[in-house]
Structure formats: C-alpha cells, structure tokens
Structure 1
Amino acid sequence: MSTYKLVCPHCHSRMRIRTSEGTHIFLRIAYLQCCNEACGWSVRAEFEMTHELSPSGMANPAVQLPLADRALRRAAMMSATPTSQLDLLDSLMEA
C-alpha cells in the first residue's frame, strides 16, 4: 500500500492534514500544516477528482466523470508501475 506524502515547498519536511471537509462528491478541501516546528507553514488545499482512469466494477449512476484520454491514462500507468503493460481501455476502444 502506498501513501501520498505531502511535502512542504519551503523546508521540504512532511506535511500533515489537520482537517478536511467534503464540499462535493468530487472535491475535498483540506487544511495542511508543516510538521517542522521551525517552519510552521500552513495552507488550504483542494483535492479534486477530475477524470476517470478506469471504470468501477460497482458503478454508481450518480458518478459522472469524463473518461481520461489515452495519454493521461498512459501517464498514470507509467507513474504507478513502469512497465509495457497494455491499457485495457485502449484495447476495448480499438476493437
């Protein structure tokens, strides 16, 4: 299991999410704080779901996101596991 690590752009220390709130099913507002007490930087951030990379096996009809284009899906695959694995959606769309 991997965990996204937020890094302070000032001192490069780890940041923690102090609190967050959902404002929409695709948007979460978070308040972050640098763990380095000497720095102490805090910030508001927005985490937004923008594109579907692969379909859900338990699709909710209320969830309507645009399908990411081929380049975006490939970039996500390459950053997760650098391999020559084929994109199943590409295969289905070409057929």
Structure 2
Amino acid sequence: MSTYKLVCPHCKGSIRIRTSEGQHICLRTAYLQCTNEACGATFRAQFEITHQMSPSGMPNPQVQLPAAPTSIRREAMRNDNETQLDLLEA
C-alpha cells in the first residue's frame, strides 16, 4: 500500500492531516498542519478520486468514474517501485 508524503511548501517539513470530512463519495476536504513547530503553517486541501485505474469487483452503481487514459496507467505502473509518493513537493 502506498502512502503520501505531504510536504510543507514553506519549510519543506512534514505535514499531517489533522481532520477531514467527506464532501462527496469521491471528494474529501482535509485540514493539514505542518509538524515543524517553528513553521506552524496550516492548510486546507481537497483529495478527489478522478479516474478509475481498473474496474472494481464490487461496483457501486452510484460511482461513475471515467477510465484512466493509458498515459496515466503507464505513469502509475512506473511509480509502483517507489516506496512513497511526494505530494506538494516542489
């Protein structure tokens, strides 16, 4: 399972998710906090499921996502060897 490394755009320290709330079945709003006490920046972010990489074995009829283009699927395959994906890193 992959995890995301959230990086503060100010100090480049780690960011943690303080709380999040569902807006839609495919959208969450998250409130983030830099773990560097000297920085202390806080943020609001949205995480959205935009494409389906492969079909579900238990499809929900309420979920209507487009299939990911080949270029996105190829990129995901290339990144499978990395242990952690960077998010918000410059």
Would the alpha carbon gap of residues 2 and 51 (structure 1) be closer, same or farther in structure 2, given more than 3 Å must change? closer
What TM-score does the superposition give when structure 1 sets the normalisation length?
Answer: 0.80
Say if 2:24 is the partner of 1:24: yes
SS for the counterpart of 1:23 is: strand
- CA-based RMSD of the aligned residues comes to 1.3
SS for the counterpart of 1:5 is: strand
**Cα distance in structure 1, aligned partners of 2:65 and 2:15:** 29
4+ residue segments displaced more than 6 Å: none
Following TM superposition, by how much is the alpha carbon of 1:41 offset from its aligned partner in structure 2, in angstroms?
0.6
Unaligned runs of 5+ residues in structure 2 are: 83-90
Following TM superposition, by how much is the alpha carbon of 1:62 offset from its aligned partner in structure 2, in angstroms?
1.2
Q: As a proportion of its length, which structure holds more helix?
A: 1
Q: 2:41 corresponds to which residue?
A: 41
Unaligned runs of 5+ residues in structure 1 are: 83-95
SS for the counterpart of 1:39 is: coil
Amino acid at match of 2:31: Y
SS for the counterpart of 2:43 is: strand
